[in-house]
Structure 1
Amino acid sequence: MLATFFFLSSGRNIKINQFTNYKLIDDSLSIRMENISLENLLVQLGDSNYPHSLKKYDKEKYNIGKDLINNGRTIIKGKKTKRISTFFVCIDCHNIGREFSLLESESSLDRLNFAKNNFIPYLPGSTFYGVYNRTSFYNDDYVKKYGDLVNKASNNLNEAIQVCAKYCSSGRYLEAWELEAIMHYFKGNELKISDLDLNDEILLDIKNIANLDSNQKNHLKNKVNSFYRQFYSATFLPAMDINIRKYGEGGNVQNGKYIYNKSCLHCHANSRVTYLNLGNDKLSAKMFEKNLTNYSDKSLYQIIRYGTYPKAGRKQYMPLYTKEKMSDDQINDLVSYIKKLSNK
């Protein structure tokens, strides 16, 4: 098992990968912590199990869930199952790995920097990394888009998955075995204590958990919870007024290039999941540049903030980017790259 060693020094923990089950806290003290799930720790500190809690995951179901998330279907007894959606799969909008160096962050700048450093897509949906450990979904402004559907899904992961399968992917509700498999996949990738950047004081408190009273346990639980997100905020912004748009002035061209390649082209390159074909070419850039001063669907300022909606005969649509997933400054970075590409 590939574990992580934490050596205490003045300041911060230093992580060193080794093949071991132990995490060293100092030269003389060690605790077996690598495989302790975050959920189990929180229960020991007085929390209830999650409503979607599974005691353990089944490897076969995990692999089926992985197939469904990556491919939109799986193979059972040598036959392909029915697609969840004809138009999208989960990873069109969601990463499956970590998106932040610090799990408590939801800063769009932190997210973009992590994406660039790890060469991952920059997508409108929240990552599935740690989704098993979240307690709230379709937060804040998503009620404006999905209305009453949010009521059941906001604090129920199973219902949130069903909303995504049926409505977000222009697909269908999952069958029970499909939902179960996806939940086993999420369970298999739940957060462990070693995923959190806990300091030495907290780690020692965890080791001594049996000796803590209820107030101390509650205090420790709050500290642990501050090291990761139980939900992601979602703020819908209007299209920026044409009178205050910077039109790329002062924008970071390299950031804009990354956003174009790992956001826009993630779906639009070679018309992968859409009718609109885009590339790193002057023609694509010119199309965007001439629409910068309007509010049409070809305006980056408009389409990023509102997306589009599925309609009869064309169920593919573009989801919007919330403020947390792409800031106004990042849109300006994107415009700066588009203008550079247009003038090549």
Structure 2
Amino acid sequence: MPASRRRATLATVAASAGVSVATVSKVLNGRSDVAPATRSLVQSLLEQHDYVALPQRRGETAVLDTIEVEFDTDLNAYSTEIVQGAVEAGAELDVAIVVSIRTNADRTGTWARDLAATGRRALIAVTSELTTGQLAALSRAQLPLVVIDPLNLPQTEVTSVGSTNFAGGLAATQHLLGLGHRRIAYLGGPATAACNQARLHGYRAAMEAAGAPVPPSYVRTRHFHYQDGVAGGAALFDLIEAPTAIFAGCDEIALGVLEAARARGLRVPEDLSIVGFDDTQIARMGSPPLTTVRQPLREMGGVAVRTALRLAAGERVDSHHVELATELVVRGSTAPASPTAPGHA
């Protein structure tokens, strides 16, 4: 559809006025903290673009724009952080955020068209693996898409938001190597997930640079779930040369490893060091609290919302893939390697 026939959005008016979306929102809501000249310009452009807010429901504030944030699995600590960031950005920009859980089986032929028909301005898909057909359906429905932590490698025409997963995996492994560990295992998520591959590559790069061997049995990929950490940890502890440290691909996996270690009578960090990934709330609730790689999940949610609004306004984005910086957070689940630890001699 030509840009001139699209319903104007706050982002459209903001771009024309050279102001932020928040400023346009303030003018619409009658806020007093806008300079008179700016208010006059914005009001003029609202009329020029024939801006129309979505209908107001009785007893509710008018909804100006709606973005759908879609997950393909139940919400957990990771997804809650992303939702929080998206909601905070939506509140700042006067955008409604709708959260849904939808598997590939639910994405039927009318899925994209139904989203557009219900007033969605854009779709944010989190850790989803969208098929070529589904991408085409979104394109036909003229519904912009932003993917957060895509499970499959993003295509050039798909806009995505992630973090520096390789650098995070590198930092996590280097931290364990610096503590004297050499038998370090990696327990990650799906083998085909782009974020998992990057974290694994960071781990392998650090191990190779240190001259530390990586036996095939030390690399295991399952899912980003707690129970996978329990099962994967138990399998690693059964090895003749069990690892003295484990880098887990997410905090849930790391907590599962922590439980597997407890069941075997292994002390963390005295007998086993564990590093997670994400730095969700559960990382701070572990016993001991997890050393982990902080992924700026709330910021990723906010960036996705702002990017989705730009795409909905027909604007170009500077890059089809944006990576936010990760940071190692050291807590109580890692310590220097102990050659006399039970089961690790």
Whether the TM-score (by the shorter chain) exceeds 0.5 is no
Q: Give TM class, smaller chain.
A: under 0.3
Q: Name whichever structure is richer in strand by fraction.
A: 2
Greater C-alpha radius of gyration: 2
**TM-score (normalised: structure 2):** 0.22
